Structure 1
Amino acid sequence: MTAWTGPGRAVQGLILSVPVALFSLGTATDAAYLRTAQMQWSNFSSWAIVGGLIFGGAAFVWSLIDLAWGRRGVSRFLYSGVLGALCLVGLANAFKHSQDGWSSVGALGVTLSALCCVLALIAGWLRYSGMLDEEAGR
């Protein structure tokens, strides 16, 4: 089997870049909220998390389609697993941030945001490092 290249790979990379940016933004705005107690930072976090979930879910579905089409391997299963975990933790994070007022962030909200950020960065690293393509080329 040859390495997978073409517009589909590029589109998947573009879709994945959005949750990497938005979950990182969510973590940064949570930190800003904890330092300033300005409620608008929590609102920014909520919107960033929802946007990250939408595009993260699309990347997860795309990775499942890749697995269904027979592009299997340890790295691809790991990639899909990381994206699945990102969606679950991101959903819990969105629910936490939707709480009323000042309790919406706190220690748990920041921890969930940081975990989402780390999972998104791991997924991005797996996608952009070429590990998935090298495995397909074997």
Structure 2
Amino acid sequence: MARPGFRPHVAIGGVPVHAMLVPFPIVCFTGALLTDITYLSSGGQVQWANFSQWFLAFGEMMGALAALMGLIDLFRTPRADRPSIGYIHFAGSAITLTLGLFNNFVHARDGWTGVAGTGIILSVLTVLSLIVTGFLGHRLAYVHQRGRVVADERTL
């Protein structure tokens, strides 16, 4: 018999708030990578480094808010119904936010030293981490949600 499954508790109109907030850090961290690449290919136009800093700062704020909503959903679910993938998704999201925070600190240095080298590497690692946690979040939302198994796990 299948477990009842994971169901979000913080929702507006039936839509989980966590799912509403997650696109913001995804776009911001991806935008930071793209503006880093543009900065390096433009010969050091400092405004692109500034865009990266703003993307990283806003991505951190919205990511922290999304993480809070996700934690509420995860821990308000009875322990027996919590899928283990939720903990893995949480850990991956914490790693992503930590990488983004360190990336923001690195980008706070002057333009070239903030982006070239460590900054671009952290931007790439942050986006790669987003891809992994996004996949895990997808599995959590579409396989383990709404009190039933939504799809056969072998098909996803």
Tell me the TM-score range normalised by the shorter chain. 0.7 to 0.9
Under a length normalisation based on structure 1, what TM-score does the superposition of the two structures give? 0.87
CA distance in 1, matches of 2:106, 2:82: 35
Superposition misfits of 4+ residues, deviation over 4 angstroms: none
Match of 1:119 among 129, 142, 147: 129
CA distance in 2, matches of 1:92, 1:81: 17
More helix by share: 1
Match of 1:26 among 32, 36, 56: 32
Q: Which has the larger radius of gyration?
A: 2
- The one-letter amino acid of 1:25's match is G
Instruction: Say whether 1:62 aligns with 2:72.
Output: no
Q: 8 Å contact 1:56–1:86 — kept in the other structure?
A: no
Within a 5 Å distance, the mapping from 1:1-138 to structure 2 comes to 1=4, 4=7, 7=12, 9-36=15-42, 37-70=44-77, 72-127=82-137, 129-136=138-145, 137-138=148-149
Deviation (angstroms), 1:114? 1.0
- The one-letter amino acid of 1:45's match is S
Under a length normalisation based on structure 2, what TM-score does the superposition of the two structures give? 0.78
Deviation (angstroms), 1:2? 5.0
- The one-letter amino acid of 1:4's match is R
